[in-house]
A and B are shown apart, each in its own frame.
Chain A
Amino acid sequence: MGKDDVFRVGNGAGFSGDRVDAPGPVVDTLIERGGPAALFFECLGERTVALAQLEKRRDPARGYEPMLERLLEPVLEKCIRHGIRILGNFGAANPQGAGRVVARLAERLGLGTIRIGVVTGDDVRDRVDLSTLEVYEADVALEASGELVSANVYLDAQPMVAALREGAQVVITGRCGDPSLLLAPLIHHFGWAADDWPRIAVGSAAGHLLECGGQVTGGVYYDPGYKDIPDPANLGFPIAEVSSRGQLVITKAENTGGLVNCQVVKEQLVYEVHDPSQYITPDVTLDFTGVSVREIGRDRVEVLGVRGKPAPERLKATVCFEGGWLGEGEVSVAGPNCLARARSIADVLRQRLRIRKLDVRARVDLIGVASVHDDDRGTLSSGYAGPEPAEVRIRLAASGAREEDVDQAAREVLALLTNGPAGTGGARWRTTRRIRTQSYLVPRSIVDARVRVGTAREMA
Protein backbone atom coordinates (compact mmCIF):
# COMPACT_ATOMS: atom_id res chain seq x y z
CA MET A 1 0.00 0.00 0.00
CA GLY A 2 1.18 3.52 -0.77
CA LYS A 3 2.85 5.25 2.15
CA ASP A 4 0.82 8.46 1.99
CA ASP A 5 -2.37 6.53 1.82
CA VAL A 6 -2.24 4.74 5.16
CA PHE A 7 -4.20 5.55 8.30
CA ARG A 8 -3.12 3.85 11.53
CA VAL A 9 -5.35 3.09 14.48
CA GLY A 10 -3.82 1.81 17.69
CA ASN A 11 -5.61 0.10 20.55
CA GLY A 12 -5.06 1.26 24.14
CA ALA A 13 -7.33 -1.16 26.04
CA GLY A 14 -9.32 -4.30 25.29
CA PHE A 15 -11.50 -4.41 28.39
CA SER A 16 -12.20 -2.61 31.66
CA GLY A 17 -9.33 -3.88 33.76
CA ASP A 18 -6.69 -3.92 31.06
CA ARG A 19 -3.01 -3.00 31.59
CA VAL A 20 -2.84 0.75 32.11
CA ASP A 21 0.75 0.99 30.84
CA ALA A 22 -0.15 -0.51 27.44
CA PRO A 23 -1.18 2.67 25.54
CA GLY A 24 2.21 4.43 25.94
CA PRO A 25 4.25 2.30 23.49
CA VAL A 26 1.32 2.28 21.03
CA VAL A 27 1.27 6.08 20.93
CA ASP A 28 5.08 6.26 20.67
CA THR A 29 4.93 3.91 17.67
CA LEU A 30 2.13 5.87 15.98
CA ILE A 31 4.22 9.06 16.37
CA GLU A 32 7.42 7.42 15.15
CA ARG A 33 5.80 5.98 12.02
CA GLY A 34 4.36 9.43 11.23
CA GLY A 35 1.24 9.89 9.14
CA PRO A 36 -2.34 10.26 10.29
CA ALA A 37 -3.42 8.09 13.21
CA ALA A 38 -5.96 7.57 15.98
CA LEU A 39 -6.08 5.65 19.27
CA PHE A 40 -9.08 3.76 20.66
CA PHE A 41 -10.00 2.21 23.99
CA GLU A 42 -12.58 -0.58 24.35
CA CYS A 43 -13.66 -0.87 27.96
CA LEU A 44 -17.20 -2.30 27.99
CA GLY A 45 -18.00 -5.97 28.42
CA GLU A 46 -21.60 -7.14 28.27
CA ARG A 47 -22.28 -6.47 31.93
CA THR A 48 -19.94 -3.53 32.46
CA VAL A 49 -22.63 -0.92 31.78
CA ALA A 50 -24.97 -2.53 34.32
CA LEU A 51 -22.29 -2.61 37.01
CA ALA A 52 -21.51 1.04 36.18
CA GLN A 53 -25.22 1.89 36.42
CA LEU A 54 -25.31 0.39 39.93
CA GLU A 55 -22.28 2.49 40.84
CA LYS A 56 -23.96 5.60 39.44
CA ARG A 57 -26.97 4.92 41.69
CA ARG A 58 -24.64 5.08 44.68
CA ASP A 59 -22.81 8.18 43.36
CA PRO A 60 -24.36 10.10 40.42
CA ALA A 61 -20.95 11.55 39.47
CA ARG A 62 -19.55 8.08 38.78
CA GLY A 63 -20.53 5.14 36.62
CA TYR A 64 -17.80 5.58 33.99
CA GLU A 65 -14.57 3.63 33.39
CA PRO A 66 -12.75 3.72 36.76
CA MET A 67 -9.27 3.61 35.16
CA LEU A 68 -10.07 6.50 32.78
CA GLU A 69 -7.51 8.95 34.17
CA ARG A 70 -4.83 6.30 34.63
CA LEU A 71 -5.28 5.24 31.01
CA LEU A 72 -5.34 8.74 29.46
CA GLU A 73 -2.96 10.80 31.59
CA PRO A 74 0.28 9.26 30.23
CA VAL A 75 -0.73 9.73 26.56
CA LEU A 76 -3.18 12.63 26.30
CA GLU A 77 -0.70 15.46 25.80
CA LYS A 78 1.38 13.47 23.28
CA CYS A 79 -1.70 12.52 21.28
CA ILE A 80 -2.97 16.09 21.14
CA ARG A 81 0.47 17.41 20.09
CA HIS A 82 0.69 14.90 17.23
CA GLY A 83 -2.90 15.11 16.05
CA ILE A 84 -3.81 11.61 17.20
CA ARG A 85 -7.51 11.59 18.02
CA ILE A 86 -8.66 9.43 20.91
CA LEU A 87 -11.92 7.48 21.01
CA GLY A 88 -13.20 5.34 23.85
CA ASN A 89 -16.35 3.84 25.28
CA PHE A 90 -15.19 4.75 28.76
CA GLY A 91 -18.47 6.58 29.24
CA ALA A 92 -20.14 3.32 30.39
CA ALA A 93 -23.29 4.46 32.22
CA ASN A 94 -22.21 8.09 32.40
CA PRO A 95 -20.59 9.53 29.24
CA GLN A 96 -21.12 13.11 30.46
CA GLY A 97 -19.39 12.27 33.73
CA ALA A 98 -16.47 10.73 31.83
CA GLY A 99 -16.38 13.86 29.64
CA ARG A 100 -16.02 16.03 32.76
CA VAL A 101 -13.19 13.84 34.06
CA VAL A 102 -11.30 14.11 30.76
CA ALA A 103 -11.97 17.88 30.65
CA ARG A 104 -10.54 18.35 34.14
CA LEU A 105 -7.56 16.15 33.30
CA ALA A 106 -6.93 18.21 30.15
CA GLU A 107 -7.10 21.46 32.13
CA ARG A 108 -4.70 20.10 34.70
CA LEU A 109 -2.27 19.23 31.86
CA GLY A 110 -2.57 22.75 30.37
CA LEU A 111 -4.78 21.52 27.52
CA GLY A 112 -7.91 23.54 28.36
CA THR A 113 -8.56 24.43 24.71
CA ILE A 114 -8.83 20.88 23.36
CA ARG A 115 -12.19 19.81 22.04
CA ILE A 116 -14.00 16.91 23.65
CA GLY A 117 -16.96 15.11 22.11
CA VAL A 118 -19.52 13.21 24.16
CA VAL A 119 -21.94 10.78 22.50
CA THR A 120 -25.15 9.91 24.35
CA GLY A 121 -28.32 8.12 23.37
CA ASP A 122 -27.23 4.51 23.83
CA ASP A 123 -29.22 4.41 27.08
CA VAL A 124 -32.73 3.44 25.94
CA ARG A 125 -34.25 2.47 29.30
CA ASP A 126 -37.04 5.02 28.90
CA ARG A 127 -37.60 4.44 25.20
CA VAL A 128 -38.24 0.72 24.92
CA ASP A 129 -41.13 -1.54 25.85
CA LEU A 130 -39.43 -4.90 26.36
CA SER A 131 -42.67 -6.82 25.93
CA THR A 132 -42.83 -5.73 22.28
CA LEU A 133 -39.20 -6.46 21.37
CA GLU A 134 -37.75 -9.58 19.84
CA VAL A 135 -35.21 -11.40 21.99
CA TYR A 136 -31.84 -11.57 20.23
CA GLU A 137 -29.71 -14.02 22.13
CA ALA A 138 -30.48 -15.09 25.63
CA ASP A 139 -28.87 -16.34 28.70
CA VAL A 140 -31.07 -19.16 29.93
CA ALA A 141 -34.64 -18.06 30.35
CA LEU A 142 -34.72 -15.29 32.89
CA GLU A 143 -36.09 -16.80 36.07
CA ALA A 144 -38.18 -14.18 37.86
CA SER A 145 -36.50 -11.21 36.22
CA GLY A 146 -35.45 -8.68 38.80
CA GLU A 147 -35.54 -4.93 38.53
CA LEU A 148 -34.28 -3.46 35.27
CA VAL A 149 -30.84 -1.96 35.78
CA SER A 150 -29.80 -0.84 32.31
CA ALA A 151 -30.82 -1.04 28.66
CA ASN A 152 -28.24 0.09 26.15
CA VAL A 153 -28.26 -0.10 22.41
CA TYR A 154 -25.08 -0.72 20.43
CA LEU A 155 -24.71 2.58 18.50
CA ASP A 156 -22.94 2.53 15.15
CA ALA A 157 -19.88 4.59 14.19
CA GLN A 158 -21.81 7.59 12.81
CA PRO A 159 -22.30 9.60 16.05
CA MET A 160 -18.54 9.34 16.68
CA VAL A 161 -17.87 10.41 13.08
CA ALA A 162 -20.09 13.46 13.68
CA ALA A 163 -18.08 14.32 16.79
CA LEU A 164 -14.82 14.01 14.85
CA ARG A 165 -16.24 16.28 12.11
CA GLU A 166 -17.00 18.89 14.75
CA GLY A 167 -13.34 18.80 15.69
CA ALA A 168 -13.44 16.56 18.75
CA GLN A 169 -9.91 15.45 19.70
CA VAL A 170 -11.21 13.07 22.36
CA VAL A 171 -14.51 11.24 21.75
CA ILE A 172 -16.29 9.58 24.66
CA THR A 173 -19.18 7.19 24.19
CA GLY A 174 -21.17 4.73 26.21
CA ARG A 175 -22.27 1.53 24.49
CA CYS A 176 -21.46 1.25 20.81
CA GLY A 177 -20.32 -1.52 18.51
CA ASP A 178 -16.81 -2.40 19.67
CA PRO A 179 -15.43 -2.40 16.10
CA SER A 180 -17.18 0.97 15.50
CA LEU A 181 -14.55 2.62 17.73
CA LEU A 182 -11.84 1.84 15.18
CA LEU A 183 -14.09 2.30 12.16
CA ALA A 184 -15.19 5.85 13.06
CA PRO A 185 -11.80 7.57 12.57
CA LEU A 186 -11.35 5.68 9.26
CA ILE A 187 -14.72 6.90 7.96
CA HIS A 188 -13.81 10.42 9.06
CA HIS A 189 -10.31 10.36 7.58
CA PHE A 190 -11.07 8.72 4.23
CA GLY A 191 -14.60 10.12 3.82
CA TRP A 192 -16.10 6.67 3.30
CA ALA A 193 -19.86 6.52 2.73
CA ALA A 194 -21.86 4.70 5.40
CA ASP A 195 -23.00 2.18 2.77
CA ASP A 196 -19.62 1.63 1.14
CA TRP A 197 -19.90 -1.97 2.35
CA PRO A 198 -16.51 -3.26 1.10
CA ARG A 199 -14.58 -0.52 2.93
CA ILE A 200 -16.85 -0.38 5.98
CA ALA A 201 -16.28 -4.15 6.20
CA VAL A 202 -12.50 -3.80 6.21
CA GLY A 203 -12.60 -1.08 8.87
CA SER A 204 -14.97 -3.18 10.98
CA ALA A 205 -12.84 -6.31 10.59
CA ALA A 206 -9.87 -4.26 11.78
CA GLY A 207 -11.95 -3.14 14.75
CA HIS A 208 -13.02 -6.72 15.47
CA LEU A 209 -9.38 -7.88 15.40
CA LEU A 210 -8.14 -5.07 17.67
CA GLU A 211 -11.01 -4.56 20.10
CA CYS A 212 -9.64 -7.08 22.60
CA GLY A 213 -6.22 -5.42 22.73
CA GLY A 214 -3.49 -7.93 23.47
CA GLN A 215 -5.55 -10.87 22.24
CA VAL A 216 -4.24 -10.24 18.70
CA THR A 217 -0.62 -9.75 19.79
CA GLY A 218 -0.12 -12.93 21.80
CA GLY A 219 -2.49 -12.66 24.77
CA VAL A 220 -4.89 -15.63 25.16
CA TYR A 221 -2.53 -17.27 22.64
CA TYR A 222 0.75 -18.28 24.19
CA ASP A 223 1.20 -21.86 25.33
CA PRO A 224 4.77 -22.57 26.49
CA GLY A 225 6.62 -25.03 24.28
CA TYR A 226 3.87 -24.91 21.67
CA LYS A 227 3.13 -21.29 20.91
CA ASP A 228 5.79 -19.14 22.54
CA ILE A 229 5.85 -15.36 22.47
CA PRO A 230 8.62 -12.96 23.54
CA ASP A 231 8.26 -11.07 26.83
CA PRO A 232 4.59 -11.64 27.73
CA ALA A 233 4.95 -9.32 30.74
CA ASN A 234 5.36 -6.43 28.29
CA LEU A 235 2.82 -7.48 25.70
CA GLY A 236 2.67 -4.84 22.96
CA PHE A 237 -0.79 -3.65 21.97
CA PRO A 238 -1.97 -3.78 18.36
CA ILE A 239 -2.04 -1.26 15.55
CA ALA A 240 -4.07 -1.57 12.34
CA GLU A 241 -2.85 0.01 9.11
CA VAL A 242 -5.67 0.65 6.67
CA SER A 243 -5.43 2.18 3.19
CA SER A 244 -8.06 4.23 1.38
CA ARG A 245 -8.71 1.29 -0.93
CA GLY A 246 -9.29 -1.02 2.01
CA GLN A 247 -6.03 -2.90 2.44
CA LEU A 248 -5.47 -4.03 6.01
CA VAL A 249 -2.31 -4.90 7.94
CA ILE A 250 -2.20 -5.85 11.62
CA THR A 251 0.97 -4.93 13.51
CA LYS A 252 1.88 -3.82 17.04
CA ALA A 253 3.73 -1.33 19.22
CA GLU A 254 7.54 -1.23 18.89
CA ASN A 255 9.89 -2.18 21.74
CA THR A 256 7.33 -4.42 23.42
CA GLY A 257 6.72 -8.12 23.87
CA GLY A 258 4.23 -10.33 22.12
CA LEU A 259 3.98 -10.95 18.40
CA VAL A 260 1.70 -10.71 15.41
CA ASN A 261 1.67 -13.82 13.21
CA CYS A 262 -0.91 -15.67 11.12
CA GLN A 263 -1.84 -18.04 13.94
CA VAL A 264 -2.79 -15.35 16.44
CA VAL A 265 -4.65 -13.30 13.82
CA LYS A 266 -6.67 -16.36 12.75
CA GLU A 267 -7.58 -17.15 16.37
CA GLN A 268 -8.79 -13.60 16.98
CA LEU A 269 -10.62 -13.38 13.65
CA VAL A 270 -12.96 -16.16 14.77
CA TYR A 271 -13.11 -15.07 18.44
CA GLU A 272 -16.75 -14.77 19.61
CA VAL A 273 -17.90 -15.41 16.03
CA HIS A 274 -20.64 -17.90 15.33
CA ASP A 275 -21.52 -18.13 11.64
CA PRO A 276 -18.39 -16.72 9.94
CA SER A 277 -20.48 -15.62 6.94
CA GLN A 278 -22.72 -13.45 9.15
CA TYR A 279 -20.85 -11.49 11.79
CA ILE A 280 -23.18 -8.64 12.60
CA THR A 281 -22.03 -5.21 13.76
CA PRO A 282 -24.18 -2.05 13.87
CA ASP A 283 -22.27 -0.78 10.80
CA VAL A 284 -22.13 -3.79 8.48
CA THR A 285 -22.69 -7.54 8.26
CA LEU A 286 -19.24 -9.08 7.91
CA ASP A 287 -18.45 -12.19 5.90
CA PHE A 288 -15.17 -13.84 6.89
CA THR A 289 -15.52 -16.90 4.67
CA GLY A 290 -13.28 -15.38 1.97
CA VAL A 291 -10.59 -14.19 4.37
CA SER A 292 -6.98 -15.28 4.11
CA VAL A 293 -3.93 -14.03 6.00
CA ARG A 294 -0.26 -13.74 5.11
CA GLU A 295 2.84 -12.63 6.96
CA ILE A 296 4.46 -9.75 5.08
CA GLY A 297 7.14 -8.88 7.63
CA ARG A 298 8.11 -9.21 11.27
CA ASP A 299 4.95 -8.68 13.34
CA ARG A 300 3.04 -7.73 10.21
CA VAL A 301 0.09 -9.75 8.92
CA GLU A 302 -2.02 -8.72 5.95
CA VAL A 303 -5.71 -9.65 6.10
CA LEU A 304 -7.29 -10.18 2.69
CA GLY A 305 -10.74 -10.99 1.38
CA VAL A 306 -13.02 -9.42 4.02
CA ARG A 307 -16.48 -8.94 2.52
CA GLY A 308 -19.38 -6.81 3.70
CA LYS A 309 -23.13 -7.00 3.34
CA PRO A 310 -25.61 -4.29 4.40
CA ALA A 311 -25.87 -3.36 8.06
CA PRO A 312 -28.71 -4.95 10.05
CA GLU A 313 -32.00 -3.05 10.04
CA ARG A 314 -32.37 -3.33 13.79
CA LEU A 315 -29.76 -2.70 16.46
CA LYS A 316 -28.87 -4.97 19.34
CA ALA A 317 -29.63 -3.75 22.83
CA THR A 318 -28.36 -5.40 25.98
CA VAL A 319 -30.76 -5.21 28.88
CA CYS A 320 -29.56 -5.95 32.41
CA PHE A 321 -31.69 -6.96 35.36
CA GLU A 322 -30.88 -7.46 38.99
CA GLY A 323 -30.18 -11.15 39.27
CA GLY A 324 -30.06 -11.96 42.96
CA TRP A 325 -26.89 -12.87 44.82
CA LEU A 326 -23.83 -15.07 44.47
CA GLY A 327 -21.95 -16.41 47.48
CA GLU A 328 -18.59 -18.12 47.20
CA GLY A 329 -16.42 -19.78 49.83
CA GLU A 330 -13.13 -21.63 49.52
CA VAL A 331 -10.80 -23.67 51.73
CA SER A 332 -7.68 -25.72 51.04
CA VAL A 333 -6.35 -29.13 52.03
CA ALA A 334 -2.91 -30.49 51.16
CA GLY A 335 -0.57 -33.44 51.57
CA PRO A 336 -1.32 -37.12 52.29
CA ASN A 337 -4.95 -38.19 51.87
CA CYS A 338 -6.00 -34.67 50.81
CA LEU A 339 -8.37 -35.95 48.11
CA ALA A 340 -10.39 -37.98 50.63
CA ARG A 341 -10.55 -34.99 52.96
CA ALA A 342 -11.62 -32.76 50.05
CA ARG A 343 -14.42 -35.18 49.10
CA SER A 344 -15.56 -35.26 52.70
CA ILE A 345 -15.73 -31.46 52.78
CA ALA A 346 -17.81 -31.44 49.60
CA ASP A 347 -20.27 -33.93 51.15
CA VAL A 348 -20.47 -32.02 54.42
CA LEU A 349 -21.13 -28.71 52.65
CA ARG A 350 -23.98 -30.20 50.62
CA GLN A 351 -25.48 -31.68 53.82
CA ARG A 352 -25.10 -28.39 55.70
CA LEU A 353 -27.09 -26.49 53.05
CA ARG A 354 -29.89 -29.06 53.46
CA ILE A 355 -29.76 -29.04 57.27
CA ARG A 356 -29.96 -25.24 57.31
CA LYS A 357 -32.74 -25.23 54.67
CA LEU A 358 -31.04 -22.42 52.77
CA ASP A 359 -32.90 -21.46 49.60
CA VAL A 360 -29.96 -21.55 47.20
CA ARG A 361 -28.71 -23.30 44.09
CA ALA A 362 -25.26 -24.63 44.92
CA ARG A 363 -22.22 -26.33 43.50
CA VAL A 364 -18.99 -27.67 44.96
CA ASP A 365 -15.74 -27.68 42.99
CA LEU A 366 -12.58 -29.59 43.80
CA ILE A 367 -10.03 -27.20 42.36
CA GLY A 368 -6.99 -29.18 41.27
CA VAL A 369 -9.18 -32.20 40.44
CA ALA A 370 -12.01 -30.78 38.34
CA SER A 371 -13.66 -27.39 38.48
CA VAL A 372 -13.88 -25.13 35.43
CA HIS A 373 -14.62 -28.02 33.06
CA ASP A 374 -17.05 -29.64 35.51
CA ASP A 375 -20.81 -29.21 35.82
CA ASP A 376 -22.96 -28.25 38.81
CA ARG A 377 -23.39 -31.91 39.85
CA GLY A 378 -19.64 -32.51 39.91
CA THR A 379 -19.68 -35.27 37.26
CA LEU A 380 -15.96 -34.96 36.51
CA SER A 381 -14.72 -34.56 40.08
CA SER A 382 -16.80 -37.45 41.46
CA GLY A 383 -15.66 -39.69 38.59
CA TYR A 384 -12.00 -38.72 39.03
CA ALA A 385 -9.73 -41.78 39.35
CA GLY A 386 -6.36 -40.18 38.61
CA PRO A 387 -3.34 -39.77 40.86
CA GLU A 388 -3.57 -38.21 44.33
CA PRO A 389 -3.18 -34.41 43.92
CA ALA A 390 -0.66 -32.51 46.07
CA GLU A 391 -3.34 -30.03 47.13
CA VAL A 392 -7.04 -29.47 46.60
CA ARG A 393 -8.97 -26.24 47.03
CA ILE A 394 -12.65 -26.75 47.74
CA ARG A 395 -15.02 -24.11 46.45
CA LEU A 396 -18.70 -23.71 47.26
CA ALA A 397 -20.76 -21.43 45.03
CA ALA A 398 -24.37 -20.61 45.87
CA SER A 399 -26.88 -18.34 44.19
CA GLY A 400 -30.34 -17.23 45.18
CA ALA A 401 -32.77 -14.35 45.40
CA ARG A 402 -32.14 -13.59 49.09
CA GLU A 403 -28.80 -12.10 50.14
CA GLU A 404 -29.17 -13.57 53.62
CA ASP A 405 -29.49 -17.19 52.42
CA VAL A 406 -26.65 -16.86 49.96
CA ASP A 407 -24.34 -15.26 52.50
CA GLN A 408 -25.16 -17.91 55.11
CA ALA A 409 -24.34 -20.61 52.56
CA ALA A 410 -20.94 -19.06 51.82
CA ARG A 411 -20.20 -18.78 55.54
CA GLU A 412 -20.65 -22.55 55.91
CA VAL A 413 -17.23 -22.79 54.28
CA LEU A 414 -15.73 -20.52 56.93
CA ALA A 415 -17.18 -22.72 59.70
CA LEU A 416 -15.10 -25.63 58.40
CA LEU A 417 -12.01 -24.05 59.95
CA THR A 418 -12.97 -25.54 63.32
CA ASN A 419 -15.56 -28.13 62.31
CA GLY A 420 -14.01 -29.63 59.18
CA PRO A 421 -11.46 -32.41 58.64
CA ALA A 422 -7.82 -32.28 59.74
CA GLY A 423 -5.59 -29.70 58.13
CA THR A 424 -8.26 -27.43 56.61
CA GLY A 425 -7.10 -23.85 56.03
CA GLY A 426 -7.05 -20.75 53.90
CA ALA A 427 -10.74 -19.87 54.09
CA ARG A 428 -12.09 -17.01 51.98
CA TRP A 429 -15.69 -16.08 51.34
CA ARG A 430 -17.65 -13.30 49.73
CA THR A 431 -21.17 -12.43 48.65
CA THR A 432 -21.81 -10.29 45.57
CA ARG A 433 -24.76 -8.99 43.60
CA ARG A 434 -25.59 -10.72 40.33
CA ILE A 435 -26.65 -9.13 37.07
CA ARG A 436 -28.57 -10.96 34.38
CA THR A 437 -28.55 -9.85 30.79
CA GLN A 438 -30.79 -10.38 27.82
CA SER A 439 -30.31 -8.99 24.33
CA TYR A 440 -33.11 -7.59 22.21
CA LEU A 441 -33.44 -6.23 18.69
CA VAL A 442 -34.42 -2.56 18.62
CA PRO A 443 -35.64 -0.55 15.61
CA ARG A 444 -33.13 2.14 14.64
CA SER A 445 -35.98 4.66 14.61
CA ILE A 446 -36.30 4.72 18.41
CA VAL A 447 -32.62 5.54 18.89
CA ASP A 448 -31.74 9.20 19.23
CA ALA A 449 -27.96 9.54 19.46
CA ARG A 450 -26.75 12.98 20.52
CA VAL A 451 -23.31 14.50 20.09
CA ARG A 452 -22.00 17.36 22.16
CA VAL A 453 -18.61 18.86 21.37
CA GLY A 454 -17.00 21.58 23.44
CA THR A 455 -13.66 22.66 24.82
CA ALA A 456 -12.26 21.11 27.96
CA ARG A 457 -12.70 24.48 29.65
CA GLU A 458 -16.42 24.50 28.82
CA MET A 459 -16.93 20.94 29.97
CA ALA A 460 -14.86 20.84 33.16
Chain B
Amino acid sequence: MKEVLVTVLLHEVAHSRAGDKGNRINLSLFPYDAEAYPLLAEQVTAEKVLALFRHRGATGARRYDLPLLHGFNFVIDEVLEGGVNGSLNLDGHGKTHSFRLLALPVVVPERFTRRR
Protein backbone atom coordinates (compact mmCIF):
# COMPACT_ATOMS: atom_id res chain seq x y z
CA MET B 1 0.00 0.00 0.00
CA LYS B 2 1.39 3.34 -0.99
CA GLU B 3 1.29 6.02 1.70
CA VAL B 4 -0.30 9.39 1.01
CA LEU B 5 2.19 12.21 1.49
CA VAL B 6 0.94 15.63 2.48
CA THR B 7 2.61 19.02 2.73
CA VAL B 8 1.75 20.54 6.10
CA LEU B 9 3.17 23.03 8.55
CA LEU B 10 5.53 21.47 11.07
CA HIS B 11 2.94 22.49 13.67
CA GLU B 12 0.73 19.61 12.48
CA VAL B 13 3.51 17.11 13.15
CA ALA B 14 5.62 18.35 16.06
CA HIS B 15 5.81 20.61 19.09
CA SER B 16 8.51 23.05 20.19
CA ARG B 17 9.62 25.32 23.03
CA ALA B 18 11.97 28.32 22.89
CA GLY B 19 14.51 29.37 25.50
CA ASP B 20 17.10 32.18 25.54
CA LYS B 21 20.62 32.80 26.83
CA GLY B 22 22.16 36.12 25.97
CA ASN B 23 21.75 36.75 22.25
CA ARG B 24 21.08 33.08 21.45
CA ILE B 25 17.96 31.01 21.53
CA ASN B 26 17.37 27.31 21.62
CA LEU B 27 14.34 25.68 20.04
CA SER B 28 13.42 22.12 20.93
CA LEU B 29 11.46 20.07 18.41
CA PHE B 30 9.63 16.81 19.12
CA PRO B 31 7.33 14.97 16.69
CA TYR B 32 4.02 13.82 18.21
CA ASP B 33 4.68 10.42 16.67
CA ALA B 34 8.16 9.07 17.42
CA GLU B 35 8.16 7.33 14.03
CA ALA B 36 8.30 10.72 12.34
CA TYR B 37 11.72 11.39 13.90
CA PRO B 38 13.84 10.18 10.93
CA LEU B 39 11.72 12.17 8.46
CA LEU B 40 12.14 15.36 10.46
CA ALA B 41 15.87 14.64 10.77
CA GLU B 42 16.01 14.69 6.97
CA GLN B 43 13.82 17.72 6.40
CA VAL B 44 14.36 20.08 9.34
CA THR B 45 18.03 20.84 8.88
CA ALA B 46 20.04 23.48 10.71
CA GLU B 47 20.36 25.39 7.41
CA LYS B 48 16.58 25.57 6.95
CA VAL B 49 16.11 26.73 10.52
CA LEU B 50 18.80 29.39 10.15
CA ALA B 51 17.05 30.68 7.01
CA LEU B 52 13.93 31.38 9.11
CA PHE B 53 15.92 33.85 11.20
CA ARG B 54 18.29 35.37 8.64
CA HIS B 55 16.29 38.60 8.44
CA ARG B 56 17.10 39.17 12.11
CA GLY B 57 20.83 38.79 11.57
CA ALA B 58 21.18 35.24 12.88
CA THR B 59 24.71 34.08 12.13
CA GLY B 60 24.60 30.35 12.76
CA ALA B 61 22.43 27.40 13.72
CA ARG B 62 23.35 24.01 15.13
CA ARG B 63 21.16 20.96 15.60
CA TYR B 64 21.73 18.55 18.45
CA ASP B 65 19.95 15.23 17.95
CA LEU B 66 18.33 13.45 20.88
CA PRO B 67 17.41 10.03 19.47
CA LEU B 68 16.36 8.58 22.85
CA LEU B 69 13.82 11.39 23.22
CA HIS B 70 12.98 11.39 19.50
CA GLY B 71 13.71 15.07 19.29
CA PHE B 72 16.11 17.84 18.38
CA ASN B 73 17.60 20.92 19.97
CA PHE B 74 18.39 23.84 17.65
CA VAL B 75 20.70 26.59 18.87
CA ILE B 76 20.59 29.82 16.86
CA ASP B 77 23.27 32.49 17.31
CA GLU B 78 22.88 36.29 17.30
CA VAL B 79 19.16 36.06 16.69
CA LEU B 80 17.76 38.31 19.41
CA GLU B 81 18.97 41.66 18.06
CA GLY B 82 20.88 42.20 21.28
CA GLY B 83 19.03 39.85 23.62
CA VAL B 84 16.55 40.80 26.28
CA ASN B 85 18.80 43.65 27.42
CA GLY B 86 19.53 45.25 24.10
CA SER B 87 16.67 44.38 21.81
CA LEU B 88 13.92 46.79 20.81
CA ASN B 89 11.68 43.82 20.12
CA LEU B 90 8.59 43.35 22.27
CA ASP B 91 9.67 39.73 22.76
CA GLY B 92 13.26 40.27 23.78
CA HIS B 93 13.50 36.72 25.11
CA GLY B 94 12.41 35.25 21.78
CA LYS B 95 9.78 33.07 23.46
CA THR B 96 7.52 33.26 20.40
CA HIS B 97 10.09 31.82 17.98
CA SER B 98 9.06 28.22 18.61
CA PHE B 99 6.07 29.05 16.43
CA ARG B 100 8.19 30.52 13.66
CA LEU B 101 9.90 27.14 13.49
CA LEU B 102 6.52 25.37 13.57
CA ALA B 103 5.42 27.35 10.49
CA LEU B 104 8.02 25.55 8.37
CA PRO B 105 6.41 23.33 5.67
CA VAL B 106 7.29 19.61 5.71
CA VAL B 107 6.21 16.65 3.57
CA VAL B 108 5.08 13.68 5.65
CA PRO B 109 2.73 10.70 5.51
CA GLU B 110 -0.73 11.80 6.59
CA ARG B 111 -0.69 9.45 9.59
CA PHE B 112 1.97 11.63 11.26
CA THR B 113 -0.22 14.74 11.31
CA ARG B 114 -2.07 15.80 14.41
CA ARG B 115 -5.29 16.65 12.56
CA ARG B 116 -6.04 13.79 10.19
Contact = CB atoms under 8 A, between A and B. Distances in A.
Partners in one complex: yes
Interface of A: 46-47, 137-140, 220-221, 223, 225-227, 263, 266-276, 288-293, 305, 323, 326, 361-363, 365, 367, 371-376, 379-380, 395, 397-399, 434-437, 439
A272 B64 CA distance: 13
Interface string B59-76: 000001010110101010
A270 B15 contact: no
B12 to A, nearest CB: 8
Interface residues of B, number: 41
Nearest to A379: B55
A145 B96 CA distance: 29
A365 B88 CA distance: 10
A273 B114 contact: no
7 contacts: A137-B21, A138-B22, A226-B11, A270-B19, A272-B21, A371-B90, A380-B55
Contacts, number: 126
Interface in B20-78: 20-24, 26, 28, 30, 32, 55-57, 64, 66, 68-69, 71, 73, 75, 78
Given A263-B15, A270-B71, A293-B69, A372 B83 contact: no
B68 A290 contact: yes
B17 to A, nearest CB: 4
Contacts of B69: 266, 269, 291-293
Contact of A291 (B56, B68, B81, B114): B68
Nearest to A437: B85
A24 to B, nearest CB: 27
Contacts of B106: none
A372 B89 contact: yes
B85 A270 contact: no
Given A226-B15, A305-B68, A439 B26 contact: no
A140 B71 CA distance: 30
B85 to A, nearest CB: 5
